[in-house]
Amino acid sequence: MLIRFITLLFAFITSPLTWGYPSYIGHNYTSCLNCHYSPFGGGQLTDYGRSVSATLISSNKLYPKEWSEEKIADTSGFFFSKPKTSWFRPQINYRGFRVVDDPGSPRQEAFWITMQEDVRLTLKFMKNDKLLFVGDYGRQPALEFLPPGVSQQNHRSRNLYVGYRVTPKIGVYAGLMDKVYGIRVVEHIAFTRINTSTTMNDQTHAVAGHFVIDQWEGGVQAFIGNSNQDQEFRMRGVSTMWERTVLNSHRVGASLLSQTNDELTMNSGSLHGRFNFKEGSALLTELGETHRDSKTGTAQGNSRFGLLQATVRPWRGLYLLTNVDYQRADLKQSDYTIRWGPAIQYFPIQRIELRADIYDTRNFRSTTAERDAWTYLLQTHLWL
């Protein structure tokens, strides 16, 4: 039962919230603001972002041959046409997984999990959409079972904020949002996200500023925790993330994050790079550490983590990925974990994403030997 719970939880926290992936720097999109209303990525796509997903990211094989790219772009709106209003932008999402645990072994288990069902809404006002109201609300399907004392909130909002672009290069955002930190890879189980508490359910009420200064882009954020959590668990703190464009199409950057609640203080820092290899191919890297200080006397270990993700696009609509995750959970110990595996991501048409992942997790310990843990994930994502 414990193994199955871990597998379910694994699949649950793997569920991504966006398809504007940071690897799209391989398409020369260095800034998230090109396609997202949030300058830090994630959430609903802009009209331009929807057009890009239809004419560059997704395959065109299922459209009539006589359709031009312009006509395909025109069908990317919510009602399969150009938006009728300038200010109202809705969206609906569904995402589900088929999980196969310990494939090929006597312990194999396979099951389907509906991971995401939500609606999103963006309201835009003023010239050039300077003023935004962004929100979402959805059902978070319950796991089949939970350990004693663990509860799960079945409905939640992950984004509910207002944004104002003072100038095209300066923006201010306030409300419920993700923490500003590191590369926001879609794999929420990545050690770069778990160790820093920046996974899919770590949103916080915050005020953030976004800045573009010549070749630099970044943000600063002050946050007070998520009001839906009990007071003692709410993380309060500050964060900042900056990137610099190098050689016209690559980004290198750094992040700092300091957060605290009634139980512990966490300070994280990392360096990262996003490199463009043209034609949709890219390489993402991140390396960092998190230092923890307990306020309750409970032992807390300082950790080191790393990420390497390579993406290759053989042809339009298809992406081949390789992920390598590294974690040394306690810097006082020599033990570490490597998780790696290939993935295939296919967009047969705009509004449909299909993905298959294989994960092999191996723990390297000085005192014991453990068998590798294998998991297959088959994902279906539909959106309007």
Domain ranges, ordered by start, for the chain? 2-85+94-116+179-383
pLDDT average per 10 residues of sequence, the chain (384 residues): 43 44 87 90 88 94 94 92 93 87 78 84 94 90 51 76 96 96 85 90 94 96 91 93 95 97 94 93 96 82 94 96 95 93 95 93 86 88 91
Task: Please give the Cα distance from 79 to 89 (Å, whole number).
Answer: 10
Q: Which pLDDT value is given to residue 325?
A: 96
H/E run at residue 74 = helix 69-74
Q: Which pLDDT value is given to residue 61?
A: 94
- DSSP secondary structure string for all residues of 133-154: EEEEEEE-PPPS---TT----S
Backbone angles phi, psi at 241, to 5 degrees: -145, 130
Task: Please give the Cα distance from 363 to 242 (Å, whole number).
Answer: 33
* 260 contacts 225 by C-beta, under 8 angstroms: no
Q: Which pLDDT value is given to residue 143?
A: 54
The CATH number fitting domain 2-85+94-116+179-383, selected from 1.20.120, 2.40.160, 2.30.30, 3.30.70: 2.40.160
Query: Looking at residue 224, what DSSP letter applies?
Result: -
Q: Which residue has the tokens 């059902």?
A: 139
Task: Please give the Cα distance from 171 to 164 (Å, whole number).
Answer: 6
Q: Which pLDDT value is given to residue 141?
A: 61
This prediction's pTM: 0.88
Task: Please give the Cα distance from 68 to 70 (Å, whole number).
Answer: 5
Q: Which pLDDT value is given to residue 219?
A: 97
